[in-house]
Amino acid sequence: MSNSANLSNVISIGKDDREVIRYPKFLKLIFFVEMWERFSYYGMRALLVLFLTSHLGFSDAKAYAIYSLFAAIGYTVPVIGGIMADKLMGFRNMILIGGIVIIMGHICMTFVGWNTFLVYLGLALIAIGTGLFKGNITNLLGSCYKDNDPNRERGFTLFYVGINLGSFFASILCAIVASNYGWDYGFGLAGIGMFIGLVVFTKFQHILGSSGTSPKPNLINKKLFFGMNLITITIAVSFGLAFLVSKMLESAEFFANILSIVGLVVFGIFAYIVVKSPSIQRRNLIALAIMVFFLMCFFGLEMQLGSLINLFTARNIDNKISHLSVAA
């Protein structure tokens, strides 16, 4: 299916038809899937630290360590997921695999009342699944547009709106459900979001045409080990990694300290590269480092929404206006 065919879907705005905005079908599909994936992630994140401290009785420091290690893994795995998608699996297969792993993680979180280990396993699965999913759906959207397409920027703007919508409604709805019916129902509602997104993506991915398919399609369906193809093997490996990550989360305070040391080592290596680079490259690397620094500051503050700010709000904010309770 050509991009010109995809762009045939037109929505008119205004009282006349002189001004039109073109929303291709592939953009609507990816917008919808990403919105529900973000619903699942932010719905879970809104509850996590509160659940760890109030229900499991963890100290603030331990809850923060689990949360930060979970987030760090979720932001590291996209490097692996991106390489696999680009070299072997294709964006669409990695999105499907990531979605399946995320759903299994949310299923574990739904049964947190049964066994504490399910919390760690569920978080590990969600972190790995998010890493496989998140970067690849963005790349999939980019691959659907032709180079220098004037509508490309508009498409990514709408895509980002979907992220904000999913996170906004998830933070409210999952919190209300958890407050009124229990933590397991709140986590379960978050998981339903990813399930909806994955079902829709699977049913309507034909809209994407050939975009995001594997560069090696003959290898994808080939039976390799015990009758399993690459997709099945990748899912199985993801579960194995999740088990290892769950053990790391059980000792989150130790591994969070290790990450701090790793960060200092990486900074030292980068500084060495800058010093040894030619003057022209050095200026570019310094400019890049400045942008990365402010980006790190932004995400460092944004991540506080699911940890420090959540606990501060729960403990210090009066939720009553006159006789009206704003939140349970």
On whether both 288 and 203 belong to a single domain, the answer is no
Within a domain: 7: no
On whether both 209 and 80 belong to a single domain, the answer is yes
Per-residue model confidence (pLDDT) at position 22 = 65
List the domain range (segments joined by +) for residue 67.
Answer: 26-262
On whether both 74 and 129 belong to a single domain, the answer is yes
Per-residue model confidence (pLDDT) at position 62 = 92
Report how many domains make up the chain: 2
Within a domain: 114: yes
pLDDT tens, residue by residue, 1-10:
444 444 444 4
pLDDT tens, residue by residue, 177-202:
998 898 989 999 999 999 999 999 99
**The CATH number of the domain where 171 resides is what?**
1.20.1250.20
Statement: the pTM of the whole predicted model exceeds 0.75: yes
Per-residue model confidence (pLDDT) at position 322 = 66
On whether both 291 and 183 belong to a single domain, the answer is no
Q: Quick one: three-class SS letters along the chain? A: CCHHHHCCCEEECCCCCCCEEECCHHHHHHHHHHHHHHHHHHHHHHHHHHHHHHHCCCCHHHHHHHHHHHHHHHHHHHHHHHHHHHHHHCHHHHHHHHHHHHHHHHHHHHCCCCCCHHHHHHHHHHHHHHHHHHHHHHHHHHHHCCCCCCCHHHHHHHHHHHHHHHHHHHHHHHHHHHHHHCHHHHHHHHHHHHHHHHHHHHHHHHHHCCCCCCCCHHHHCCCCECCECHHHHHHHHHHHHHHHHHHHHHCHHHHHHHHHHHHHHHHHHHHHHHHHCCHHHHHHHHHHHHHHHHHHHHHHHHHHHHCHHHHHHHHHCCCEECCEECCC
Choose the weakest-confidence range: 135-139, 152-156, 218-222: 218-222
Within a domain: 82: yes
Within a domain: 218: yes
On whether both 136 and 230 belong to a single domain, the answer is yes
Share of the chain above pLDDT 90, in %: 45
